[in-house]
Structure 1
């Protein structure tokens, strides 16, 4: 798979991830934290705001990894 195609697919995955994650986090906060104190809200949104980075990190590392063909071409170019 070419790097351009992987980047496009990864971008679609990341946009979908962020939208779904934001909707889920907001829904959980609305139903579970409605009567909580401000510091509970702050902790929840701080943690949930950073937590989406973990799956995004794996998607981005997959996007940037060269295909086998590209890696072989790069290796042959060095020789």
Structure 2
């Protein structure tokens, strides 16, 4: 199995996330770790992408990419 360079993996992840969330921002369920309904997540190729929907600005802000093989992820998004 050939490993992709980290930059290519990151670029592909960003591209896929942008494409999916631009057209379907509410595709992901709400994050159970956060009380805000605007904070959601989407699973893509072993990554958990945590994002926030800003309806007023009509934007989606990615808060974190986390590879699921790393186990539990840090809840602090700062």
Q: Given the two structures, how large is their TM-score scaled by the length of structure 2? A: 0.35
* Structure having the larger proportion of residues in strand: 2
**Whose relative contact order is higher, 1 or 2, with alpha carbons under 8 Å and at least 6 apart?**
1
TM-score with structure 1 length normalisation? 0.35
